[in-house]
Chain A
Amino acid sequence: MAESDNQPAADSAPAPPREAWEVVQTARNPQRPYTLDYVNRLVERFTELHGDRRFGDDGAMVAGLGFLEDTPVAVLGQQKGRTAAERRERNFGMARPEGYRKALRVMQLAARFGRPLLTFIDTPGADCLEDSESRGISEAIAVCQRDMFALPVPVISVVVGEGGSGGAIGIGVGNRVYMQQYTYYSVIMPEACAAILWRDPSQNKRAAEALRVTAPDALRLGLIDGIIPEPPGGAHLDYEAAAVAVKEQVVAALEELRGVPSAQLIAERYGKFRRMGAPAGV
């Protein structure tokens, strides 16, 4: 697991990101801890599992089994790479159909054995190239979402970097969904939004504002359950502190959901997403 564990030395802490566009850049900071950095700090005796039993194994999606404190949990998340070679191997965190089908396999394993599921979201978006189209990227993401609703176990999701559109929500149907303080979650990259609406890619900042991509925006809109604080300046400056905060929130959420009957977990999960975005009184 060395590849994702080379934390940079923290230099003097810069001012925390405030504007939406600064948050987007912080969420994309290549020194930011990635999924495996959190897994290695939160999850004991992690056994990574590979392959979708259909086509292959996708390095952009990590899946495995381990223990959170003493609770057996299943874990999923998109994984980015740091070196040029790792980035290619991890496909820049853009999962392919086999990644989502591996995720689905591990979700179903969690369901069958009654283990809570923990997902880490960090992707600019799912892979949309020809190979992914030819193997049904849309279908794979759609099935993941549909079937996450049926999981009879607690599902906790945390956006730890980029919450990039369909690729993110493909593993994001949680009973509890959190965002770290300086992450973003959006239906489209601000750059693409700027280019489409204003035909001007220099309007990124304006697009990031308009899209309401930050954690406080998502919380205010009732789309997430809470914001996990980051070390001053961002998670990239202190991996340990960032991981401790994530662990505290995840453990607290698991505690809340422990013993909740399966039918109630399922009903509440559907009800929660069903109501998202509904105007008052509808």
Chain B
Amino acid sequence: MSTTGDIPPDLWEECSSCHQLLYSKELTEGLWVCGKCGYHMRLSVWRRLEITADPGSFAELDTDLPLVDPLDFPDYLPKLQQARAKTGMDEAVLTGTAAIHGHRVGLGLMDLAFIGGSMGWVVGEKVSRLMERCVEEKTPAVMFIASGGARMQESLISLMQMPKTAGAVGLLNQAGLPYIGILTDPTYGGVTASFAFLGDIIIAERGAAMGFAGPRVIEITKVKLRPEVQTAEFQYQHGMIDLLVARSEIRETLSDLLDWFMNGK
């Protein structure tokens, strides 16, 4: 693959796991799963939306929340502004109403490209509002999760988004509405120990990295963990996940589950 410099970038993409070059058209048709090694490449929320929701069904919610820097944390505001410019997202989660195979749902999608998909006040607020709206509108909630963990730059306010979102899941539970969480690569930290692992059904994409402590914290605290521990496969083997699926199966699986939960309601 020494000729990569001559190849137009829009025709080819490199697998971020095995680094083979893949023909873009095939990659798109294969839902951005590497045809060579099977790696499920990380998706932007826009790509995820495109392969999940019925075309044209998505209506974004809560687009008007302000950028917050409650602690006046060094270099944080510029970082937020750069993340906005880079991703075209207002924060690390996109929320809205959508249809999946005709089922109305509240849909949340997280994007790792926005400060590692970390959860600060805005993310916690959007997730909580989404779940509260599902309660009002009596719709299921579906969350695609990808997160490096808590938003360090919001410290304790970030931590308090964990109980806040966990409490919002509790409202869905009490309302008798299903919540399906799909854990994608990677899902770590504060998000795992709140809404990510509270799904009525928990689905994980094959090969996704996940765990309670993020990789950087593990590295710094010199905790010894075998690499295979922080994987979807390990969590599945230990009973923490209902379904370990290939990306191509997710939409059909969601459709069947939503049918089961909502049929006749």
Residues in B lying within 8 Å of A, measured CB to CB? 65-66, 68, 70-71, 73-74, 121, 124-125, 128, 150-152, 154-164, 166-167, 169-171, 173-174, 189-190, 192-198, 211-213, 216-218, 220-221, 223-226, 229-230, 234-235, 238-240
Contacts and interface: CB of A to CB of B under 8 A. Distances in A.
Nearest to A223: B156
Interface residues of A, number: 57
Nearest to A172: B163
Contact of B121 (A126, A172, A212, A277): A277
B194 to A, nearest CB: 5
Contact of A149 (B157, B166, B216): B166
A-B CB proximity, top 4 nearest: A277-B157, A128-B213, A138-B192, A145-B166
Interface of A: 125-126, 128-130, 132-139, 141-143, 145-150, 165-166, 168-170, 172-173, 185-189, 191-193, 195-197, 201, 210-213, 217-218, 221, 223, 270, 273-274, 276-279, 282
Nearest to A100: B193
B160 A276 contact: yes
Contact of A136 (B124, B213, B221, B240): B240
B260 to A, nearest CB: 22
A133 B193 contact: no
Nearest to A197: B152
Given A133-B212, A188-B152, A211-B155, A128 B240 contact: no
A147 B170 contact: yes
A71 B236 CA distance: 44
A196 B65 contact: no
B70 A279 contact: yes
A154 B67 CA distance: 35
A271 to B, nearest CB: 10
A130 B191 CA distance: 19
A212 B106 CA distance: 35
A280 to B, nearest CB: 10
Contacts of A191: 220
Nearest to A186: B155
Given A134-B238, A218-B156, A146 B161 contact: no
B234 A210 contact: no
Contacts of B150: 165, 187-188
Given A145-B163, A196-B216, A212 B71 contact: yes
Contact of B160 (A133, A138, A148, A277): A277
Nearest to B71: A212
20 contacts: A128-B213, A129-B225, A130-B226, A133-B225, A136-B240, A141-B193, A142-B166, A149-B167, A149-B170, A165-B150, A166-B162, A166-B189, A172-B163, A192-B220, A201-B220, A210-B73, A211-B152, A270-B167, A270-B171, A279-B68
